[in-house]
Amino acid sequence: MKMNKWTLGLAAVGLVSLAPALLAQNAAQQQTPLLTSLSATTISGYVDTSAVWAPGTGNANVAPYAFNSQSKQNGINLDAVDIKLSKALEEGKWSAGYVAELSYGPDAQAIDGGAYPIRQAYVDLGIPIGNGLELKMGRFDNILGYETSDAMNNPNWTRSYGYSIEPTEHTGLLVSYKFADWMGLQVGAVDSVTTLGPIGGVPSGVNTRSESRRGFISLLTLTAPDSWGFLKGSALYGGLDYGPGSYGYPVPGAGLGLHGGNMTEWYVGTTINTPLKGLSLGASYDGASDLDVAGLDVGSFEAFAGYVSYKFNDKASINGRAEYANGSGLEGLEFIADGAPFGTLDKVIAFTGTFEYDLWANVMSRIEVRWDHNAGGVGPAFGGETPGAPTKNNEVLIAANVIYKF
């Protein structure tokens, strides 16, 4: 019995089932390109939800970290739905793979900018030179940072100020090479440092298509070998992004103006294993400087963070984070984080505690408490009923986060 390709296609994605005898008979008659091409493809993703309570009155001016918004506070939220198709490279040979990832929801729109709902879309090429060279061409996640855009991969649900000043996605070419088990390097040429703009990442009003307007990204990773005892697997990271970007600052009488110029972003981070089983430490530094308009330096941002994690068992863990962030330069300088201003950073201190207990299979469930404090002494920074008119120096947030991973 010969089956048509539609029937085989539906069977391949699990929409219909075929008897073993029919599958064996058809396999002897023909091999379909559809089944061959899908054999190494992996489908994965997640559904990310949250419930947030912000004690106190007024939430028109929220703490300026990524994904924190007035609409999320005191509400039950769908944060993001993510679906990824991917094919991994085969080691030690000429190999090709890909990633095609779509994200939906408020958080997805914040990180994807003009490419929404496309999160990542790139071709992955493996070249058997030395320990193996890898090339990615297309749109891919930012390589810098202690935290990622996927909440389930972070120790805390809310993001740090360091993450908030980093780019999220790049469109370009990324080259990766592992010199040894303990050292790897990634370098890339991209359209821009920030994600703001269409899929090409071109900031508004800035000609990044000229030869001299490419962006540069890099990350060096050093990993402690097995011979280092309890420190084995600990890592040190250092990276630099430089090139065209977009940011905003208040223009007298005109509100927030969008401008393009060169940006330099630095990142240093570390994860450290300890002699105590289940206890690990981390630290990070993020800085953004050389923000210029017509050759004028208009300021910089920097953020420091320390992390501590303790895993009680396979289901329960507790994670803590302490932060300090500061902006300098023109008074009231603001970053445009992927199309939306997230406010000024002027001597902000934040502490976050997260308890995770994964009772259900494939489900991450956690409770988080966060406190942000304005230590700048320039007046209130948070709260209030009117945008631009904050009434308090402290913001407290209590959240429940539930993520199903598939």
Q: Quick one: pLDDT at residue 230?
A: 94
Q: What is the pLDDT of residues 130-187, one digit of tens each?
A: 998 999 999 999 999 999 999 999 999 999 999 988 888 889 999 999 999 999 999 9
The pLDDT of residue 114 is: 62
CA 168 to chain centroid: 5
Tokens of 136: 């990615």
CB burial readout 380-403, b (16+ within 10 A) else e: ebbbbeeeeebbbbebbbebebeb
In three-state secondary structure terms, 164 is helix
**Helices and strands (DSSP H and E) totals, the chain:** 5, 20
Q: What angle (nearest 5°) sits at the alpha carbon of residue 310, between those of residues 309 and 313?
A: 135
Q: DSSP per residue over 240-299, as a string?
A: EEEEEEEEEEEETTTEEEEEEEEEEEEEEEEEEE-SSTTEEEEEEEEEEE--EETTEE-E
Query: Taking the domains of the chain in order of start, what are their residue ranges?
Result: 1-39, 45-77+122-405
Question: What residue type is assigned to position 351 of the chain?
Answer: F
pLDDT confidence tier of residue 299, bands split at 50, 70 and 90: low
310-346, pLDDT tens digit by residue?
999 999 999 999 999 987 643 333 443 333 334 455 7
Hey, is 396 helix, strand or coil?
A: strand
The answer to whether the beta carbons of residues 119 and 102 sit under 8 Å apart is: yes
Q: Give the chain's end-to-end CA distance (angstroms, integer).
A: 35
Residues 100-136: pLDDT tens digits? 999 999 999 888 656 889 999 999 999 999 998 999 9
What's the rounded Cα separation, in Å, for the pair 344 and 329? Answer: 11
- Cβ atoms within 10 Å of 269's Cβ, excluding its own: 23
Confidence of residue 8 (pLDDT cuts 50, 70, 90): very low
Checking if the pLDDT of 208 tops 70, the result is: no
Looking at the DSSP bridge assignments, the partners of residue 330 are none
Q: pLDDT, tens digit, for every residue of 24-58?
A: 445 444 444 444 455 689 999 999 999 999 998 78
User: Which of 3.40.1390.30, 1.10.3720.10, 2.40.160.10, 3.40.50.300 would CATH assign to domain 45-77+122-405?
Assistant: 2.40.160.10
